A and B are shown apart, each in its own frame.
Chain A
Amino acid sequence: MEILVCVKRVPDAAENEIAVEGGAIRGDDLVYSVNEWDNYAVEEAIQIVEREGGSVTVVTVGDGDAEEVLRREMAMGANQGLLLSDPAFAGADGLGLATILAAAVRKGAYDLVLTGALADDGAAQVGGMLAALLDWPFASLVNLVEVDGSRLRVGREIEGGTQEVSDIDLPCVLSIQTGINEPRYVGLRGIRKVASVEIPVLDAAALGVTPAAAKVRRLDYFVPPAGAGADMLTGTTAELAGQLLGLLKAKGGIK
């Protein structure tokens, strides 16, 4: 099974306080990492290849910095990386990204394309668009994959934790939900092993794409008004514990 996994370099929301300045995200000291959902997608691809044979390619659209996430996923076990990079790609919206990725898919011979279910911008759109551009079937929020000849049995996680099980023909695109597996640990040794592997770079000309003008544009970022807001308690740890104990007792929170 030849599998392509789309990954993205994002500001790590757990490591950063995302601050807004003048309508933009303050960028100087942001820590970046692989989008959380993508690690599950790469792990799933590696596990499928371990069972069925084949190879895993990780791909990203971005500038030179984006290469680091490809290397991280290769250290995890992906066989090769592919960087799609061109100044013309800057500012691409979801459809723009899907168009660039679709061109890369057409250049290869993949049976299966995986994406993360969502990136931290929360749009959950690239996988579904990519499938539509390729005219391949699609399933989102996948939390189970079993290979069965020329088709897969997939589970989608729907509301309330219920799983919707379907059969889907190959080739197809799946967006992967967290919790489907346990992404393996990436050690320093793994990182060192792939540090000097060459990663091919394809630009707009090589891919034969010109992303169309974005239909959706972000105007600005802002911090939402705090609303009614909470009563904020202050004090030393012991004082806070004491105040909280009082409040919890009063509200029936201590039995």
Chain B
Amino acid sequence: MATVFAYIAHAGGRADDSALELLAAVRTLFPGADPVALVAGSGPSLEAACQEAAASFAEVWKFDQEALAYPNAELLRPLLARVLPPGALVLLPHSTLGMDLGPGLAVKLGAAYLPDVVGGSPLEGTSLQAVRQEFSGQVSAHVACDVSGGAVVTLRSGAFKAEPSRSAGGRVVDRSADAGGLSARRRFVKLVQAEAGDIDITREDVLVSVGRGIGDKENIALVEELAEAMGAALCCSRPIVDAKWLEKPRQVGTSGQTVKPKVYLALGISGSFQHLGGIKGSPFLVAVNKNPKAPIFQAASVGIVADLLELVPALTEAIQKGK
């Protein structure tokens, strides 16, 4: 088997949670492989991240360059294309960085690209069998990937459960010299934090969440009334914010807020992983959806197949009467 590499994302001197998930994926997909961790950055925080990676990976390649202080995919891509051996098997998290870096890296390496993997079986010969999801998780697919010329594989967050580190006591190999002279035609300028809203849904115990199934802006009033009757806060999926029906601070999901309620009522939400990725702590999740096969029912504690436009007013009324 060709050498397996795992790209370690890190911030503030801490390796990202994805690092151990990549390791778990290696054990599933490439059992027996001793993956090499790739850690790029600059200064003391890089050093700390390398030490943390060395607790789980037997070998860590460190790339220390001022230019890499921010993980700019336009710099990381040529760097990795330069240092990785032919036929390398490269694992990345399917994060916004992985999506930015992965497809072009596969092209530059002449390797196969296998994105957003949620499962798979051990490599047989040069064919890797993996599971992907399509149509927001409504269907899954088995895919076969020819890795004979190498492969770049991105892994969905949470799909491979992180195992505790094995105290690999790994060695850090300083490959900074190989990372010299990098320049990019896309230059990082700054980060702009999401604006804070007048409501902090991350602190709420009871959330009523509305998705595209609401159909129309006018119908938002229905769920506002329900939330008020319940004494709950109103939040939503991304399309509702894209349509400007509710403000961004109310968006739950990977590109929105991470919430930890006790009760989460999901109305007309299909249950994409980006939405569910923003809900932590396994709340009592009630899903109302008119499609009995909606993926949200796999995550829900209680499911109701119904038109929310009929059920919501009835529920609001029942609460108002019952109080």
Contacts and interface: CB of A to CB of B under 8 A. Distances in A.
Contact of B304 (A127, A220, A232, A251): A232
Contacts of B239: 178
Taking each of A131, A216, A242, which has the highest tally of chain B beta carbons within 10 Å of its own beta carbon?
A216
B298 A159 contact: no
B100 interface: yes
B244 A182 contact: yes
A245 B322 contact: yes
A109 interface: no
B149 A215 contact: yes
A253 B194 contact: no
A141 to B, nearest CB: 6
Interface residues of B, number: 96
Contacts of A219: 129, 141-144
Taking each of B95, B192, B239, B270, which has the highest tally of chain A beta carbons within 10 Å of its own beta carbon?
B192
Interface residues of A, number: 85
Nearest to A155: B192
A231 interface: yes
Interface stretch (A51-59, A61-69, A117-125): A117-125
Given A161-B251, A165-B192, A139 B141 contact: no
Contacts of A111: none
B142 A222 contact: yes
B135 A223 contact: no
A137 B302 contact: no
Taking each of B134, B187, B306, which has the highest tally of chain A beta carbons within 10 Å of its own beta carbon?
B134
Interface stretch (B54-62, B104-112, B217-225): B104-112
B304 A253 contact: no
A41 interface: no
B231 A255 contact: yes
A199 interface: no
B141 A241 contact: no
B256 to A, nearest CB: 6
